[in-house]
Each structure stands twice: as C-alpha cells, then as structure tokens.
Amino acid sequence: MDGASERACDRWLAQLDEELSDPATDRNEFCRRVLESIHFPAGVPAPVAGRDRAASLPSRIALDQLDPRNITMEPEYYRDIDPVRYYRVKPLLWLWEMFDKSILGENVHLGVRFRRVLARRIFQRCGRNFKAFHHVKFSFGYGMEVGDDVVVHRHVLLDDRGGIRIGSGASVSDYTNVYSHSHHVSDGREVRTPATVIGDRVRVAYHATILAGVNLAADSMVGAGALVTRNTEPGAVYAGVPARLVRRKPKPPARPETRDPLGEG
C-alpha cells in the first residue's frame, strides 16, 4: 500500500475515533455524513441534494437511506429488542454495513481498523486487536463480548440476541453462523435466547454453524462445515453434522511470536 495513502487512511480513522469519543456527537448525523462522503465523493448531485422534482424518486429515496433514521433493520422487528440499547448502536451498525458495501470495504488496512473503531462503541466489551473482515453481520450488536486478539473473517453471522462471548485468541472463519436464539419446534413465536460462548483460543473453521447456548471450551476446534449442537471439551477437535469429537489436539510447537501487521502496536 502506498505510504501516502496509508497515512491518509490513518488520519481519517483518527478523526472518526475522536468525533465518536465526543458524547455530544449525534450518531445518526455522523453516520449520514460519513456515508455521504464515501458514496458521493464528488458531492451529492444538486437536483438530488435539493430534492428537486427533476430528480427521480428512487434517487431521492436512495439519498435518504444514508441516514439510519430513514431505514429499518431486521432486529427492529424482534420482540426481545432493547430499544434504548439498540437505537444507540443502530447508526454504527448501519455505517458498518454500508461501509462494507462501498469501494472502501475491501481495503484490509482501512477496513479492519474502521470496524475496530465502531466495534468499541457497539459491543458490550471489545478487547485489544479485534479484527473483523468484510460483511460480518450482527443481530443487536450490543450483545457481543469480545476478548483480546479475536479474528472474525468474511461473511460471518453473529446472532447476538441472547449474547455471544468470544474469548481471547479465538478465530471464527469465513461464512460461519453463530446463533444465540432458537424457536420452538411447534410455535415459531416462542423464542429462547441462551448465551453462546466461544472460549479462549478456539478455532472455528469455514462454514461451521454453532447453535444457541453451546459452549465451545478453550482450545477446542470446530471443523469446516460442522454443525455444533452440544458443548465441546477443552483441546478437542470436532467435525461432522452433527459435530462429534474426532481427535485431541497435539501440543503446539514452540515458536517465536510474529508481528501482527493489523494489530494496535
């Protein structure tokens, strides 16, 4: 990455972080301004900005969508929502998702750091060096508790309705689904929301599914495509549908620490 471009990204992130640290910042207006600058870098076309009748109705509606007060998100229809907590984080959730859908979202250097700035204001707890790649999806967001050095890869669903706790050093691979709610088999209106736990140093491989209320014990591993319906044992590897214990992890070899280019220094 070009040095000047990298420095520009870092300056912008510092500005965003500073503004969000100010209790007086209106998060809805903040979201609208940031998205406008991303999606309309040359400025909003005058007919649309002025709500001119010459502008098409879809164009005017699209511009309205930059403001999170003008859109609804699926969790707003859930009966177990906490409105006070949700509407505080909704602007940041919308900003996260619409950033990922922009040309900036695929820039790893910028994207990981941008999402980290937001995660610290969305999650109940967010540890050091949190890394989320593009198109991670949450339910409420405020039900997330994340330790240090956690990595969440592309297109992961974190359904935190009942709460999700991810321990330090854990890694969740691409296209994984982690749930903390389930429906009654006979009446879908009856919802259970047990917390789901991913312990310290757990590795969840590609396209796995973790059902609500499961506790993945420290140092356990879930294989690609597995469906985990029960708690795991520490240091064990699980695979299959439903997931079963297939082996014990060997002791890892001693290796020197490596530099994390996306860490916080």
Query: Could you tell me the fold of the domain covering 3-248?
Result: UDP N-Acetylglucosamine Acyltransferase; domain 1 (2.160.10)
Q: What is the mean pLDDT of each run of 10 residues along the chain (265 residues)?
A: 90 97 97 93 60 69 92 95 98 98 95 98 98 98 98 98 98 98 85 94 98 98 98 98 95 79 82
**In what helix (H) or strand (E) does residue 60 lie, and over which residues does it extend?**
helix 57-64
Query: If you ran DSSP here, which 8-state letter would residue 230 be given?
Result: S
**180 contacts 197 by C-beta, under 8 angstroms:** no
pLDDT on residue 1: 80
| Cβ atoms of 156 and 174 closer than 8 Å | yes
Taking the mean position of all CA atoms in its chain, how far away is CA 212? 18
SS3 content of the chain, % helix, strand, coil (to 5): 30, 15, 50
Q: What is the pLDDT of residue 102?
A: 95
Q: What is the pLDDT of residue 45?
A: 63
pLDDT of residue 37: 93
